[in-house]
Amino acid sequence: MEYHALSKGAFFTMAVDFHQALSSPVSAHFWSKSDPVSCGRGRKVSDALQFREIEAIHREVAFLIHVEGENELSSGNLSKAEAIYTKAIQHHPEDTVLLATALGKRGLSFSLRNQWDTAVKDYTEALSLAAPNPLLHSLIRYNRGVVFSMQERHTEAIGDYDRALCFDNPVIQARARYNRGWAHYALQQWEKAAADFLAAAEFYSGDRSKLEEIYSHAGLALFHLKSYPEAEKYFRLFMDLDPSPASLGNVLAARGVIYLKEGKYPEAVEAAEKAFGLLQREDIKKHLASVCYTAAICYYKSEQWDPASACFEKAYALYQGGKIKEEWANTLYFLGKKYYKSGQYPAAALAFQKVVSLEPTNQKLLSAAQFKTGLTHFKEGRFKEALSCFENAKAASPSPLIDRRMMMARAALVNPGPLSSPNATQPLTSPEETQPVGRISAAASGMGRGVKRPLESEKELMPISDATVFDIFKDD
């Protein structure tokens, strides 16, 4: 199952936050290092004029335009910011760091307006100029990686994040590892995704929203690696954060499968039901059906008919394809037998009638259910209903055994007596009716060899092979 879709909003936020976190120290570093006149943020153009140097004038004008552009960018006036950075680029001196900065920030203004290709073009040109300055180079690498992620060019994004991580800055390390984790996750590179998420967690110890995403998706990546104990470890950390419903739904879906693996079937179904209740997505609906189905199979194999039937019913209500209807009908048949043997005849009749209502393709099963419904009615003294059920059973799969029961029902209708009384002390049934249908010997039934019975073997009612989650969809 895909438990996350890459969030454009998340990447935008990271790009803006990153810029705001680094812009002031980065700017101070750039211009104090590259400008021989040490133009500061508070200086005026008139102050620079005293140097009477055209290069200094261009540098000062470009810097002031840059500051104005930064103000517009932080205010969300992206079109104005773009125009201002374009002017900065036009006024630049032969200062590659200043030019790379203007190109990088104009690229950011393009990316925030979803103009991905134009942003990549500016970032790429900026990178060709920023190599001498490791911090600027890492910043632009990171922001271009964000754009590649937004374009779902995940391999290229990973390459940029790798290069950004070469600079030992805690902000870059945190953001690049976090984003690289998403890129690996999108490529289903689960081991690398988990490693990056958990490395990023060290930088976000006080950020609950980030930790929520990190723990949930680290756990989901480990879940895909089938490292269930490790996955559950991070799912617990995630649950301790009181997570949002959207994140919680994906984790609960995965925990449902882990519970199945551990044999905790009620917990598995409960987790999957909560996941569907939170997300109401079609993929989660199919997941819930699969969990219910798999739990039903496990109950079925251990002959726990009541919970098996309940789980099959839930699965069938969600998804009515594949073999699920047939297997639920099988389960209901055995549930009915359980009630019949314990003398709970109304409950037995209800289970057998449900089998019939499902209209299974297995005619022997259909006949057996109708036959057993007749036996329950006979036990209750409802001979007319019993005769009708026997007739239906014969129509589905004729057998001398059914003929005999029809004769007994007709006789009881004509002349009710001790043999037909539901409270009679003398047994009403021959030995075959106290044993599972299909295991009756010819001698016990009073019939010769080769007699065709409603069911040749109960194995015909149990065609269920070892099941795993999603098996019910393989016939789609």
The answer to whether 474 touches 384, Cβ cutoff 8 Å, is no
pLDDT recorded at residue 458: 38
pLDDT recorded at residue 475: 31
- Residue 35, CA distances (Å) to 49, 53, 108, 151, 307 in order: 14, 13, 24, 37, 78
- Tell me the C-alpha distance between 146 and 158, whole Å: 10
Alpha helices per DSSP H over 35-153: 45-49, 54-74, 78-90, 96-111, 116-130, 134-150
By three-state DSSP, how is residue 223 classified?
A: helix
Q: What pTM value is reported for the model?
A: 0.60
Average the pLDDT over 22-42 and give the result. Answer: 32
- Tell me the C-alpha distance between 139 and 143, whole Å: 6
Say whether domain 1-187 belongs to CATH 3.40.190.10: no
The answer to whether 216 touches 239, Cβ cutoff 8 Å, is no
Polymer length in residues for the chain:
476
**Closest C-alpha among 421, 416, 370 to residue 392:** 370
Band the pLDDT of 315: cuts 50, 70, 90: confident
**Closest C-alpha among 338, 356, 357, 358 to residue 348:** 338
Residues 6+ apart with CB under 8 A from 101: 26, 27, 30, 66, 126, 136
pLDDT digit string (tens) for 389-441?
A: 999 888 888 888 889 999 998 988 887 655 444 443 333 343 334 333 332 22
Band the pLDDT of 288: cuts 50, 70, 90: confident
Q: Which residue has the higher pLDDT, 239 or 471?
A: 239
Average the pLDDT over 188-195 and give the result. Answer: 96
Does the structure show a pLDDT above 50 at 21? Answer: no
Band the pLDDT of 473: cuts 50, 70, 90: very low
- Tell me the C-alpha distance between 322 and 104, whole Å: 55
Does the structure show a pLDDT above 80 at 263? Answer: yes
**Closest C-alpha among 455, 363, 374, 451 to residue 407:** 374
The answer to whether 136 touches 28, Cβ cutoff 8 Å, is no
Our CA dihedral for 452, 458, 459, 464, rounded to 10 degrees, sits at 130
Band the pLDDT of 290: cuts 50, 70, 90: confident
Average the pLDDT over 84-105 and give the result. Answer: 79
Q: Which residue has the higher pLDDT, 340 or 45?
A: 340
pLDDT recorded at residue 142: 94
Domain boundaries, the chain: 1-187, 341-467
pLDDT recorded at residue 299: 85
- Tell me the C-alpha distance between 471 and 476, whole Å: 10
Q: Write the single-letter amino acid at 176.
A: A
Average the pLDDT over 46-71 and give the result. Answer: 51
pLDDT recorded at residue 455: 36
- Tell me the C-alpha distance between 253 and 373, whole Å: 39
- Tell me the C-alpha distance between 19 and 74, whole Å: 9
Does the structure show a pLDDT above 90 at 161? Answer: yes
Q: Evaluate the CA torsion angle 356, 361, 365, 370 in order and state its sign.
A: positive
- Tell me the C-alpha distance between 113 and 241, whole Å: 33
